[in-house]
Structure 1
């Protein structure tokens, strides 16, 4: 399976910038759905309400799915790869 990686930077409530990737099936191109996945993730981190638009999240590239992503993508439709300031 091919997946699309959306590079995302969101300013947290404390001013630090979270960097994470929203990883979705490559055939999912609806930006509204992809950003909604990002907002779901932000809620789990206590960052609901922070701006997440096409300015904060952009399509980056397509790659082969990694086994560590597969269960989440099949269950929820997406996987979040945390990069910086996501704790």
Structure 2
């Protein structure tokens, strides 16, 4: 499965900047859908964050998904790769 990688930076309430990638099937192109996946992920965090819009989230590239990513996408519709300050 080919996936689109959306590079995302969102400010936390403590001032740190979260950096994570939102991975979706390459056929998912509606930005609002992708941002909503990111918002769903942010709601799972125990801290508050700033907004997630096109200013914070941009298409980066496409890549081939691993089996783990494919399974997560089948279950939730998206996959998150946490990079910095996500916990």
TM-score range for the pair, normalised by the shorter chain length: over 0.9
Query: What pairs up with 1:7-46 in 2 under 5 angstroms?
Result: 7-46=7-46
Q: Measure, in 1, the Cα distance between the counterparts of 2:7 and 2:29.
A: 14
Provide the aligned length of Structure 1 versus Structure 2.
Answer: 87
CA contact (8 A) 1:39 1:48 kept: no
Unpaired stretches in structure 1, ≥5 consecutive residues: none
Unpaired stretches in structure 2, ≥5 consecutive residues: none
Deviating runs (4+, > 6 A) in structure 1?
A: none
Q: Name the residue aligned to 2:6.
A: 6
Q: CA RMSD in A?
A: 1.1
Q: Measure, in 2, the Cα distance between the counterparts of 1:40 and 1:9.
A: 15
Query: What pairs up with 1:48-87 in 2 under 5 angstroms?
Result: 50-87=50-87
In the superposition, relative to structure 1, how do residues 61 and 7 fare at CA in structure 2: closer, same or farther (>3 Å)? same
